[in-house]
Structure formats: structure tokens, C-alpha cells
């Protein structure tokens, strides 16, 4: 680590010009958090106007001539810059290039259509009626195609969309990942189902809990993980999420359904993983273009690392067991191993967000294949529900009984975010690869069995490997620096094998 | 009320250009609220950078040539505009004029000095040592003098400062107010102290309460007042305040000291009065320059109306009594009249924020006289503590034992807000004048004795008299329209007489 992170004068000026854009991002993050947590219901309309106004303003500020000129100046001498400075240039250049390529009318149309589509999707899902959502999905696919054309791409238009969410990600990358993990996951699933150690159902799934007690459980689990309460919060929202206002203010949420307590606990651990990434970014990068996590895939690798690889391991369940028993009467009659089996049930299921780690990637693969074909026109929107159900049957041997269980289950398409889903699988794969890297020094089981001290060491490892860099390196380069090789799906297969085939 | 509030094309364009400034204000309001309620402690530094960046940005956007040009265009045809449109022109013109007159270096210096001064004041107050704060107060007085010079004034530099917080307010106005109310308040105080009905101490002041129970009391009092929970919130902060994100999102806070429960209850009712003003602004004015309350004095009139004139009246205490008794064991043994006496204790005291309605304005008068003399140089900063103590002794017959009880008690000067205090007394006076207007139709006692229905009618009266107009009219004009005459301190005297001299 260099002592002075930013030394070049042009970069220093760029960062100064950028600060107001960061400030708008800070305000937007807070408005987003507040909208989901504490905002009075009727405040929604004024809030949405405020957010839209500030989005447009932020884009205008990115394209200010004085910022663009400084950026051009910096690009000319990019070879002489240090990695942090190069990161600043790369991230800003990406923003400027994207904004310049997308015509304002297109952005406006996209915002308008997706703004309406979300409400239509909610209703269509409630009524389990794809025909209601169909005209909007058609418009959204059309807009996504146009986005790809505006942004430009090599080989396949879907590459342009992938790159929005994961810098540099291509179909070739994702095909390689799915080709490696889908067949192996099938084998693992068959073995698990025939073997029976990991149950497909568990009696604890039906047990109700008291919300106040569960809030205490979640708080103590975060204490166990060393959640820094002076820089972070846990609140409640309809859909769990993580948001960061800066490196010293990162907030997560969970929800309480009142039954099947693993859901709330593992959503907390998942969001903790996201939060830790932001909390461990080097302070020196605060308020600069490279202050945040670098991509959705790398972010998801951190949340899934903590949720699955750490959280659903036997040593972690053992650490967690006394906390459960302290507040929940009904866990006391179960052994730690039995709790371990409960949090690791495996079964083919229809709903992605409820899927276990063996079957989860099938859900992503299905969406990935459909999205690719939608963008090229190989598949029409009205063919999607049947294609969805056929693929689900082929992959997991079960068939949705209706659209709500199938094509309408996710909100993503109504947000217009086509190209986003693959980052979930990428995250799972990177998480396993990072586990492998960490274990070259010390086995995770050993680390975790040391409790707080081991967890602290693990966090420090992740900090040094990934977190502290923020967006300094593009995701592919970061993974190579952190793990010594490119994204390699074999580590995910090895992880599943070692957990489920032994 | 005209059907179409904004019809002129120039005004419509102005409002459209203004919307992004409103959006920044919305975000600033939320950031302010969050900083005092939920923000993790360590987030303070990044938050203060974000707020400073957005302040500067907002000022730049006010001075955008395209906005200033539209404003000049509108000013040319101002006589043909309707009152709302005139209000838009007036409010924006005030903002543009002030920003143009104050050099950026001056604003920067002011922000820097007051930013440091607050911390110095905290320490000086803790140590009760004025000498620590003195150099900062000297700088602040100097900056205030410069502000007055930059802004310009007639007769007295303090007039320029008064106008910042209360459009059009002058020393002549405030002298007239104090000349009328100070001698009369002295008489009332003497009578109250000799008479004994309103006690100077009450045993309930020493009683501790359970916080959770008191939260329920406050919630039910707000229910009684018809607090619209779908557009408003109550939270907890170190210092109670009201903030509005828009006409449909207004938030108040209170604090719980654990003892002397009238403090938390009357802070809630006080902030309710502020909130009601913002909540009852005509929806059609939302997101425009005239969407909010017009001035500090008019705002304070609304909070004091509810806190004192309504909240500390016998009929309201009677309405509140069952709520107290429902949750607080210790009020059950007292009659409603005894609770009334408890919430209306009167005594000369040293601390402004704890003062009763008879002695409160003495505290403001003292600060007003000192501020005026500081600005002209008649008084030096190092003479202030002795001047303060002398005046306190002359006005209330008691003398601070130290600086913390005297000159250091308020945060305001460290914020640089010289000229702000008089709006508190102005608020008290206007509140009594509005009471008088309302009572030309129906006695407040009768209204309140009808419970919810009467409170609803009272809120509707205030809406029509004051709230719905937002900042359409300047404060002096608004009071004249609402009450039929200029600010008249005699109504305050009459109010005190009828309550305390009967």
C-alpha cells in the first residue's frame, strides 16, 4: 500500500470535482434506505420526484465539461498513474462513456416504462396472470436491445447488458461457468436426495417465533460477527438489503415472517457479508469514485461467502447454537448437528429466493438462457412462460403450477435489469474460489472453531484480499490478484462435493 | 382560492427549474433528521461533507442564469400575477438577492467559524468558562456585522439580521412588542407569585417515569390531536425538532429525560404545532418555493399556540388526563385541576428553555438587547457575561452563579444565528393574536371541551387562517390577512391577564 493514495494533481482535482456527485449518491442512498424503512406511507410521491430530480442532476454533473476535460487529461497520462489513480480514471470513464452513449430520451423512456412496469408486475403476480405483464416485458426487452445497441458490444448484444452490472463479464465467461457447475450440481443433488443426511424437509421449518426474541438473536449473531454498531445499523424492511452512505455508515435490513427462523437469520448474515465489504474499504478511498464495492458479482461473492460458506457450516452453527438457545425455547431440544441439518435442507423448489445452495444456480441458469434468447429474438416474450416451465422441469424435475410460481416470481425484469441475474451465480463461484485462497493458509473450519478471534482473522483476510481495494481494480483483475487465477468454477464444484458428497 | 394556482407560463417554468433545488432541500431535510435520530455515530464526518457539498450546489443552482433570467422576466409582470405567483417571485427573489450580496469567501468563513464554534461552545459550557468561547463569539459578532453590511439595511444594522429570520421584521417592531409586554408580564409575575394558585414548584416535578409507558402517552396525545401517522412520524433525538420533507412527510422528535414528565409531553405538543403548519399547507403548493411555513416567527406562533394556549389550558388538560391515568400510576391520585397547576408552574428561572409562559419573554428580551448592542459595538464581547447577569437580576430578580447558567446556556450564538431569538417572542405574541381571531367565532374553551371534533374544527380554522398559504404572503401581510390587523402585542397581554389575573 502506498502511503499517499492520490498524488497526481489531475486526479486530485478530479476527486474534488467528483465530491458533489458522491454527495448526491450519499443522499440517494439515504433516501432509498428511508423509503424502505421509516418513511411515512404518503411521502412516497414527493420522495420519488426528489430521487428522479437528483438522478438527472447527478448525470449532468458527471458530464460537466470541466470534469470531462480533467478526465481526458488524466487518460493521457494513465500509464504513469498508480493503481488507485488508474481506478479513478477507469470508473469515471465508464460512467462518462455510458452516459454519453445513452440518449436522454432513451433513459427517460426506460425510467418511465420500468416505473409503470413494477406496479403492473405486482398486480400480475398477485393474479398469477402473465398476460397482464406481457406488454411491459415486451417493451422492456425492446429497450434492453436498444441499450445494447447504444452501448455497443462484441459478438452478442447480451454482452453489453452483462457489462452494465459486472464490468467485463461476457457470455463466454458465463457459459464456461454454467457448463462446469450445472452438470456437477445435478450429480450432487441426486446424491443428496438419495442419501438423506441433508433432509428435504425439517420440522423446524414449521415452527413460529416471537419477533422480539428473534431481533435479539439477530443482534447477537451480528455481535458474534463483530458488526461495528458505531458504523452500521440493522433495521426492518419488506425486502432485506444493504446500503452504504459511506465507509463509516453502512446499513442492513432484514424481515420477520414469524415462522421458519432460518430465513431471517440467514438474510442477516447475507447482508452482513455485503456490509462488511463496504465497511472494510480503505478509508483513504472514502468519497472518491472507487470508494465502493466494484461489482454486483464480487459483492454477491461476499454475501454468499458469509451466508453459505461460513453461516451454513457446522462450526458456525455450533457458535450460533448458544445464541439460539438463549432466546428460542424450541431450539434447545435440538442438537447443533440437527440445527445444521435444518439450515441445510436441500430440495428442488420453484422459488429462487428460497433455493438451497445446491439448486440455486439452476434458477439462475434458467433465467440466463431465457434472457440471452429474448435479446436476440430467438425467443418471443409470449413464449417465455412455457419455456420457463419446460426448463424448470428439465433442470429440477418440477413444474410451476402457475405464472406466480414461474415466470412472474422475480421483480428484476420489471425493473428493466436484464443481464443482472448471472451475477448471482458468479458470486457463488467467486465465493468458493476465495474460500480456496483463504484455505491455502488455514482451514476455514479451524478458523471458525476459534470463535470471535477466528472470525476477526477471517475478516482481516477478506479485507486484504478483496475489500480494501474498493473499485481500484476491475472485477476480473481483482479476482486474479486476490486468488492468483481467473474465475474458476471448479472451486464451487469442489466446495459442493466436499460438503455434500462426503 | 383560485382553481389553477399557477397559470402564468414564466412562473410555471420557474417552478420547474426550481424543482431540483426543492429536491436538494428534501434530501438535506432527511439528512438532518437522520443525523439526529438513526445515523451511526461514526457516519458524522462523511455526512457533514455531503451536507456541505449539497449546500454549495443548491446555491449554485439558485443562481443559474436561466433561473435568474426567468425571475427577472416574472418580476417585470409581477402586478399581473395572482398571489401565489407573486409569492413565488418574492421568495425566489429574496434567495437570489441574498446569495448575490454575500461573497462566497464570507459564506465560507462563516461556515468554518461556526462549525468550529459549536464544539468550542460545548466545551466552554461544560466547564462553565466563557473565556474559552469569547474569541469565537468575537469572530461571530464580527461576521454578523459584515453580513449586515453586505445585505444592507435601514436605520440599524441589526435590522438586516432580523430580516434573515423574519422577512421584514425591524427593531421598531420588536421594541414596540417588548415595550408593551415586558412591563405587563412583570405585573402578572408579581401577582402570580403573591397569589399562589399557580405554584412555583410542584411535587410531580420530582417524579420519575417509565420510558415505554411515556412513549404510549405521547402517541395517544398525538392521536387526540389527530396526528396523521401516514404522513408524519414521532422519533427520539437529543433536542426535539420538526423537519419537513414535503407536505406529506413531516417528522417531529422528542426526548425522554425520565423525570418531570411535562417536559416530554409539551415538547411533543410544541413540535406538533410546527408539524401541523407544514402538514396543512395547500397540496397544490407542494415542491414549489412557497411550499413551506413562511417564517420563524409565524412558525413559532403555531408551536406555542398548541403548546401553551391549547396544551396548557384547563380543557385540554382535562382531555389529556385519561391518557395520563391509563399509563402513569402516579397521575391517578391527582385531579385534573392539580395536573393543570403542575403544567403551569410559574417562577423566575435562569434557563430559557425551562421558562414558563409568563417569564419566557424576559429571556428573549435580555438576548435581544445584548445582540443589538453587540452589533453596533455599544457592548464588547467581554462585557457580555456581566451585562447578562445584571439584566437577569433586573428583570427576574435572580442572578446566574456561573456562565453555564448565564451567557453560555444557548447554542444559538455558536451557530452564528444572531437576530434569531426575537422570533420566539414574536411567535408568542402572534399566537395570542390568532387566538383572539379564532375566538371572534367561538371560544377556545368551548371548542376544546368538545374533544376530537372541536380539535378538528380548530385545526381547520388554523389551516384557513395561516397554514394553507405556505409562504404565499410575507409574514406581516399574512398576519394582517389572518387577523385583520398588524402584529398587536396587546393580545398577548390580554391572554396572560385572563389566564393569570382572574
Closest chain B residue to the Cα of A48, Cα to Cα: B23
In angstroms and rounded to an integer, the radius of gyration of the C-alpha atoms of chain A is 23
Q: In A77-156, which ranges are continuous DSSP H helix? A: 83-101, 104-127, 130-151
Q: Say yes or no: B26 contacts chain A, CB-CB below 8 A.
A: yes
HEC profile of A442-484: CCHHHHHHCCHHHHHHHHHHHHHHCHHHCCCCCHHHHHHHHHC
Pairing of strands B232-236, A249-254: unpaired
Distance between CA atoms of residues B317 and B395, nearest Å: 30
pLDDT in the model for residue A3: 58
What value does the mean pLDDT of chain B take? Answer: 96
Instruction: Look at A27 and B22 and tell me if their CB atoms are within 8 Å.
Output: no
Contact B50 A23 (CB under 8 A): yes
- Nearest residue of A to residue B23 by CA position? A50
Name the pLDDT band for B2 (thresholds 50, 70, 90). Answer: very low
Whether the CB of B42 is below 8 Å from some CB of chain A: the reply is yes
B439-498 pLDDT, tens digit each: 999 999 999 999 999 999 999 999 999 999 999 999 999 999 999 999 999 999 999 999
- Average pLDDT of B371-386? 97
Which chain A residues have a beta carbon less than 8 Å from that of B23? 49-51, 53-54, 57
pLDDT at B3: 58
Q: How far is B288 from chain A (nearest CA, A)?
A: 12
Could you say which of B49, B56, B287 has the minimum Cβ distance to residue A46? B287
The DSSP code for B238 is S
Looking at residue B115, its pLDDT comes to 85
Using the Cβ of B127 and the Cβ atoms of chain A, whether some distance falls under 8 Å is answered with no
β-strands A249-254, A242-246 pairing? antiparallel
> A230, B42: Cβ pair inside 8 Å?
yes
Q: What is the DSSP letter of B330?
A: G
Residue pLDDT tens, chain A, 502 long? 445 799 999 999 999 999 999 999 999 999 999 999 999 999 999 999 999 999 999 999 999 999 999 999 999 999 999 999 999 999 999 999 999 999 988 988 998 899 899 989 999 999 999 999 999 999 999 999 999 999 999 999 999 999 999 999 999 999 999 999 999 999 999 999 999 999 999 999 999 999 999 999 999 999 999 999 999 999 999 999 999 999 999 999 999 999 999 999 999 999 999 999 999 999 999 999 999 999 999 999 999 999 999 999 999 999 999 999 999 999 999 999 999 999 999 999 999 999 999 999 999 999 999 999 999 999 999 999 999 999 999 999 999 999 999 999 999 999 999 999 999 999 999 999 999 999 999 999 999 999 999 999 999 999 999 999 999 999 999 999 999 999 999 999 999 999 999 8
For residues A38 and A236, what is the distance between their CA atoms, to the nearest angstrom?
Answer: 9
Residue B480 buriedness (CB in 10 A; 0-12 / 13-18 / 19+): middle
With CA atoms as reference, the chain A residue closest to B19 would be A53
Q: What is the largest CA-CA distance in chain A?
A: 67
Give the confidence band of B1 by pLDDT, cuts at 50, 70, 90: very low
Active-site pick, B271, B307, B387, B405: B271
Nearest-Cα distance to chain A for B19, in Å, is: 7
| Pairwise CB contact (< 8 Å): B46 & A248 | yes
CB nearest B229 (choices: A40, A232, A246): A40
Q: Which of B24, B34, B231 lies nearest to residue A42, judging by beta carbons?
A: B231
Task: Write out chain A residues lying below 8 Å of B49, CB-based.
Answer: 19, 23, 287
Describe the crossing of helices A262-279 and A336-343 by its angle, rounded to 10 degrees.
Answer: 80
Torsion, Cα A60 A63 A66 A67, to 10 degrees, reads 110
Q: Which residue of A has its CA nearest to B45?
A: A248
- Predicted confidence at residue B29, as pLDDT, reads 97
Q: How many CB pairs (< 8 A) connect A and B?
A: 130
Q: Could you say which of B20, B53, B246 has the minimum Cβ distance to residue A23? A: B53
- Nearest Cβ partner of B30 from A34, A230, A232? A34
Catalytic residue among A166, A167, A271, A477: A271
d(CA A84, CA B475): 54
* ipTM confidence score: 0.94
Cβ-defined contact of A46 to B233 (cutoff 8 Å): no
Q: CA-nearest residue of chain A to B57?
A: A20
Cβ-defined contact of B245 to A46 (cutoff 8 Å): yes
Residue ranges of A 277-306 with Cβ closer than 8 A to chain B: 286-287
Share of chain B above pLDDT 90, in %: 95
Contacts 24+ apart (CB under 8 A), A189-192: A189/A346, A189/A348, A189/A358, A189/A359, A191/A500, A191/A501, A192/A346, A192/A358, A192/A500
Sign of CA dihedral A222, A228, A230, A234: negative
Residue B39 to residue A287, Cβ atoms within 8 A: no
Within an 8 Å CB–CB cutoff, is residue B243 touching chain A? no
Task: Flag whether pLDDT at B92 surpasses 80.
Answer: yes
Select from A43, A56, A59 the residue whose CB has the most chain B CBs within 10 Å, as the one to mutate to test that interface: A43
Please answer whether residues B213 and B207 qualify as being in contact, where contact means their C-beta atoms are separated by less than 8 angstroms: no
Within an 8 Å CB–CB cutoff, is residue A66 touching chain B? no
- Contact across the interface for B231 and A31, Cβ inside 8 Å: no
Instruction: Find chain A residues with C-beta within 8 A of B233's C-beta.
Output: 38, 40
Tell me whether A96 touches chain B (CB under 8 Å): no
Nearest to B42 among A42, A248, A287 (CB): A248
> Is residue A271 among the annotated active site residues?
yes
- Give the integer Cα–Cα distance in Å for A27 and A35: 12
Of B27, B45, B229, the CB nearest to A54: B27
Helices marked H in B440-489: 444-449, 452-465, 475-483
Percent of all residues in chain B with a pLDDT value above 70, rounded to a whole number: 99
Q: What share of chain B is helix, strand, coil (3-state, %, to 5)?
A: 70, 5, 30
Hey, is the C-beta of A40 within 8 angstroms of any chain B C-beta? Answer: yes
Q: How far is CA B271 from CA A103, A423, B278, B307, in A?
A: 47, 47, 11, 8
Contact A249 B46 (CB under 8 A): yes
Query: Is B236 touching A (CB cutoff 8 A)?
Result: no
Amino acid at each position: 500500500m502506498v502511503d499517499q493514495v492520490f498524488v497526481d494533481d489531475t486526479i486530485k482535482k478530479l476527486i474534488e470535482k467528483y465530491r458533489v456527485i458522491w454527495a448526491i449518491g450519499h443522499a440517494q442512498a439515504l433516501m432509498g434506505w428511508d423509503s424502505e424503512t421509516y418513511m411515512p406511507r404518503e411521502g412516497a410521491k414527493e420522495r420519488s420526484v426528489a430521487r428522479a430530480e437528483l438522478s438527472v442532476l447527478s448525470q449532468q454533473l458527471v458530464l460537466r465539461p470541466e470534469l470531462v476535460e480533467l478526465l481526458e487529461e488524466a487518460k493521457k497520462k494513465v500509464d504513469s498513474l498508480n493503481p488507485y489513480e488508474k481506478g479513478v480514471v477507469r470508473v469515471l470513464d465508464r460512467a462518462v462513456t455510458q452516459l454519453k452513449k445513452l440518449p436522454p430520451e432513451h433513459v427517460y423512456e426506460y425510467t418511465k416504462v420500468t416505473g409503470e412496469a413494477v406496479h403492473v408486475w405486482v398486480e400480475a403476480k398477485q393474479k398469477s396472470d402473465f398476460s397482464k405483464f406481457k406488454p411491459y416485458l415486451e417493451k422492456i426487452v425492446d429497450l434492453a436491445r436498444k441499450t445494447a445497441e447504444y452501448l455497443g458490444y462484441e459478438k452478442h448484444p447480451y454482452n453489453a447488458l452483462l457489462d452494465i452490472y459486472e464490468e467485463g463479464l461476457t457470455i463466454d465467461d458465463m457459459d464456461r461457468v454454467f457448463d462446469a457447475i450445472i452438470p456437477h450440481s445435478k450429480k450432487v443433488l441426486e446424491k443428496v436426495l438419495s442419501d438423506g443426511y441433508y433432509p428435504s424437509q425439517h420440522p423446524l421449518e414449521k415452527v413460529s417465533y416471537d419477533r422480539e426474541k428473534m431481533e435479539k438473536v439477530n443482534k447477537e449473531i451480528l455481535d458474534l460477527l463483530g458488526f461495528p454498531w458505531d458504523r452500521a445499523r440493522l433495521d426492518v424492511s419488506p425486502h432485506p438489503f444493504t446500503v452504504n452512505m459511506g465507509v463509516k455508515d453502512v446499513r442492513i435490513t432484514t424481515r420477520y415472517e414469524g415462522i421458519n427462523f432460518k430465513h431471517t437469520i440467514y438474510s442477516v448474515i447475507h447482508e452482513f457479508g455485503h456490509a462488511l465489504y463496504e465497511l472494510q474499504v480503505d478509508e483513504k478511498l472514502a468519497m472518491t469514485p472507487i470508494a465502493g464495492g466494484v461489482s454486483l458479482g464480487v459483492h454477491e461473492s461476499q454475501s454468499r461467502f458469509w451466508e453459505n460458506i461460513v453461516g451454513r457450516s457446522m462450526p458456525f452453527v455450533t457458535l450460533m447454537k448458544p445464541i439460539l438457545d438463549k432466546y428460542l425455547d424450541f431450539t434447545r431440544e435440538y442438537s447443533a448437528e440437527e440445527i445444521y441439518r435444518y439450515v441445510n435442507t436441500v430440495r428442488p423448489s420453484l422459488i429462487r429466493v428460497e433455493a438451497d445452495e445446491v439448486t440455486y444456480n439452476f434458477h439462475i441458469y434458467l433465467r440466463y438462457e431465457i434472457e440471452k434468447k429474448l435479446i436476440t429474438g430467438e425467443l418471443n416474450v409470449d413464449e417465455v412462460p412455457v419455456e420457463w416451465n419446460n426448463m424448470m422441469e428439465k433442470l429440477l424435475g418440477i413444474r410451476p403450477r402457475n405464472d406466480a410460481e414461474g415466470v412472474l416470481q422475480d421483480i428484476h425484469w420489471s425493473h428493466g435489469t436484464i443481464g443482472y441475474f448471472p451475477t448471482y451465480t458468479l458470486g457463488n463461484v467467486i465465493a468458493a474460489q476465495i474460500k480456496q485462497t483463504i484455505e491455502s493458509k488455514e482451514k476455514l473450519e479451524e478458523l471458525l472453531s476459534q470463535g470471535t478471534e477466528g472470525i476477526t482473522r477471517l475478516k482481516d483476510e477478506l479485507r486484504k484480499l478483496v475489500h480494501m481495494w474498493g473499485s481500484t481494480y476491475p472485477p476480473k483483475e481483482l479476482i486474479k490478484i486476490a486468488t492468483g487465477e481467473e474465475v474458476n468454477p471448479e472451486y464451487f464444484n469442489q466446495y459442493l462435493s466436499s460438503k455434500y458428497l462426503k
